[in-house]
Amino acid sequence: MSSVENIGPQALPDLQEQVERIIAEAARQGASACEVAVSLEQGLSTSVRQREVETVEFNRDQGFGITLYLGQRKGSASTSASGDAAIRETVAAALAIAQHASEDESAGLAEPSLMARDLPELDLYHPWAITPERAIELALACEAAALDTDARLKADGTSLSTHQGCRVYGNSHGFVGGYASTRHSLSCVMIAEQDGQMQRDYWYDINRQGEALADPAHIGRHAAERSVRRLGARPVPTCEVPVLFCPELATGLIGHFLSAVSGGSLYRKTSFLEGTLGQQLFPSWLTLDERPHIPRALGSAAFDADGLATYAKPFVKDGELVSYVLGTYSGRKLGMPSTANSGGVHNLHVSHGDDDLDALVKRMGRGLLVTELMGHGLNLVTGDYSRGAGGYWVENGEIQFPVQEVTIAGNLRDMFRQIVAIGSDVEWRSNIRTGSILIERMTVAGR
């Protein structure tokens, strides 16, 4: 059985018609305004472990969520059912919630004039006609390549998944927009064991196009090499040194920044960057800009969760914060216009230099290369940052030995200002596109 069904662009007209029926029912029941998101999704996933098949799963889901308004009162409800009865009941449930909600002067749809008009084609739909048998074969090949790399390895799980879906959003201003998309991934996790020590590491790839995923053998071997390389890890004495975040973790640092300049954190006054618009937060060479219309990119979108057209723009230019990240509601709470970012940022590009990871290690000289983070030690109110970390100790510009059982600490405001360089090894598998980030100084707490 193939995982490819009729959940492509051909499903959009039916979903759009359903959105229109829901909006009409909301008006019939007395809502002054409403917005609806309808989705239809399906996927195939398989996992293997120690050369045996663990799971093969096929899922197909559908449903819709509605938010409606009675003046400045809001109510929301969702269901996985379909049909006229489900529509009537779900609208009634949202209406009952709205009747008991408090009035909120910021509640309501975005202005009609701001609705997206011309939606660009972003080439997000690439179904993968892969059978369960072939999915198992690829996952087993990935794991086998890893296990055959070194006798000290055992498998902790290899997974392949393929997903496709359609989503349509509409509101009572007359806006209805939808798109079909796909996402496929292959990941491998290995455990290396020697002298009573066990180390786990991984590798993966993700792409809109299944055929464009990295070779399974390459993913497996890379996961194996990363795991074996971690053997012999030990703590280091407490010190203050430069810290280099590999690309997969550097995305998290930029993600913390986005959280701090997002409307929800700002109007709730729970962000250490409240009131910093127009201030220099990063080195003058650094720019963060959104590029939402890149074809086939994982974060691309033609419109945001409010129906506003997305557009390219900077959030940080020459190190200065030039824009917050706002949706319609948070913008109203702050007395500012929406930046068409309800639901988040789309394809954030972080400016970078020409040095790859190896060159940044040499440039760092002495310090810690971080390849693993643990815990959730971030206080967004103060910017204080403290995380358990693992990685590699660097001396004289060369990796000396693996490190574990240490904590790295600092304050994000200081860390952002102290970014020395960003590498050319850009992480393309994320909505945040950044290379390795070298920070001038952090506290590394060890033994």
The superfamily in CATH containing domain 9-229 is PmbA/TldD superfamily (3.30.2290.10)
Q: How many Cβ atoms sit within 10 Å of the Cβ of residue 296?
A: 16
**What secondary structure letter does DSSP report for 436?**
-
Q: What would the two tokens of residue 77 be?
A: 């409800």
Neighbours of 423 (CB within 10 A): 27
3-state secondary structure of 171: strand
User: In 3-state terms, what secondary structure has residue 82?
Assistant: coil
d(CA 437, CA 256): 14
How confident is the model at residue 369, as a pLDDT?
98
DSSP state of 296: T
What is the chain's alpha carbon radius of gyration, rounded to the nearest angstrom? 24
Which residue is it, tokens 């096929």?
58
pLDDT tens digits in sequence order for the chain, 447 residues long: 333 456 889 999 999 999 999 999 999 999 999 999 999 999 999 999 999 999 999 999 999 999 999 999 999 999 998 889 999 999 999 999 999 999 999 999 999 999 999 899 999 999 999 999 999 999 999 999 999 999 999 999 999 999 999 999 999 999 999 999 999 999 999 999 999 999 999 999 999 999 999 999 999 999 999 999 999 999 999 999 999 999 999 999 999 999 999 999 999 999 999 999 999 999 999 999 999 999 999 999 999 999 999 999 999 999 999 999 999 999 999 999 999 999 999 999 999 999 999 999 999 999 999 999 998 889 999 999 999 999 999 999 999 999 999 999 999 999 999 999 999 999 999 999 999 999 999 999 987
Structure tokens at 191: 């455990």
Distance CA 206, CA 222 (A): 15
pLDDT of residue 5: 52
Beta bridge partners of 164: 42, 182
Which residues, 6 or more positions from 408, have their beta carbon under 8 angstroms from its beta carbon? Answer: 243, 368, 370, 385, 386, 387, 389, 442, 443, 444, 445
Quote the pLDDT of residue 132.
Answer: 96
User: Rounded distance, CA 413 to CA 32, Å?
Assistant: 44
Neighbouring residues of 421: CB distance < 8 A, sequence distance ≥ 6:
353, 355, 360, 363, 437, 438
> What is the rounded distance in angstroms from the CA atom of residue 139 to the CA atom of residue 161?
10
Count of C-beta atoms within a 10 Å radius of residue 219: 25
pLDDT of residue 6: 64
What are the CA-CA distances from residue 41 to residues 11, 163, 289 (Å)? 11, 7, 31
Domain boundaries, the chain: 9-229, 233-447
What distance in Å separates the CA atoms of residue 94 and residue 87, rounded to the nearest whole number?
A: 11
DSSP sequence for 369-405? EEEEEES--B-TTT-EEEEEEEEEEEETTEEEEEEEE
- For position 375, what pLDDT does the model report? 86
Candidates 384, 421, 379, 383; CA nearest to 282 is 421
Contact 350, 254 (CB under 8 A): yes
Cβ(120)–Cβ(34) below 8 Å: no
Q: How many CB atoms lie within 10 A of CB 109?
A: 20
The reported pTM is 0.93
